[in-house]
Amino acid sequence: MQKKQELYSGKAKSVFATDDNDYVVLSFRDDTSAFDGEKVEQLSRKGEVNNKFNAFIMQYLSDNGIPTHFEKLLNDTESLVKNMQMMPVECVVRNVASGSLVRRLGVEDGMELTPPVFEFFLKNDALHDPMINEYHIETFGWAKSEDINKMKELTFKVNELLKTLFVDAGMILVDYKLEFGLFNGQVYLGDEFSPDGCRLWDAETRKKLDKDRFRQGLGGVIEAYIEVAQRIGVDI
């Protein structure tokens, strides 16, 4: 399958057309950003690490009944994925209180959340990804009611699968975001799952092993990503 022109360039990934309209190439770059793109740096090997991490997670989820856009790894920094109509909505699950939840509600950082908290956000950097609900999504045409329900259902299934995966590797899945799209009218998990879009802590020390290391200037960002990947069995 031949890679063709660039279709889209985001903060850390680019999308390229192929000679088959049903598939595109997802290219992971070394760019790293935070605070809606206000802080940007290049971190060596980040594209490779996130590409291989994402491939592992997507394949794991697919093997356990989650429909994903992932098809196959093409090389160190590129994957072949389904060409989907993405819904501009982020599905966030929080198993432990941290980040914006603590700031918004004044709850204790590190508090275990039972049951987990589910939140929708509009994917819009200019508006700083505001929180929304099912009514906003349906009223403004960002997704249909049945697709909203499917996104929620799949997000909670992903939570159970990944909590177990990370617990078995000595880590806590604090929170994460997922994005979904439509392919032939069906809802599929899209975008990526990597330490860029979740919070992961070491279960014993509570050491941060995710993009908070970049946001908070803690250093050792890629080293932490590689540690997480190797703990769960990614070949990096």
Task: Give the domain CATH number at 42.
Answer: 3.30.200.20
Tokens of 70: 């992932």
Cα–Cα nearest to 229, from 200, 204, 203, 206: 200
Domain count, the chain: 2
For residues 141-147, give the mean pLDDT: 98
Is there a single domain that holds both residue 115 and residue 183?
Answer: yes
* Range with the poorest average pLDDT among 4-13, 35-44, 124-133, 187-196: 35-44
Same domain flag for 21 and 54: yes
Q: Is residue 187 part of a domain?
A: yes
Q: Which of residues 22, 50, 82 is at a domain's end?
A: 82
Share of the chain above pLDDT 90, in %: 95
Instruction: State which residues form the domain around 146.
Output: 85-220
Domain contains 231 = no
Residue 209 within any structural domain of the chain: yes
Same domain for 184 and 106:
yes
pLDDT (tens digit per residue) in 66-95: 999 999 999 999 999 999 999 999 999 999
By the 8 A CB rule, do 145 and 138 touch? yes
**Prediction pTM value:** 0.95
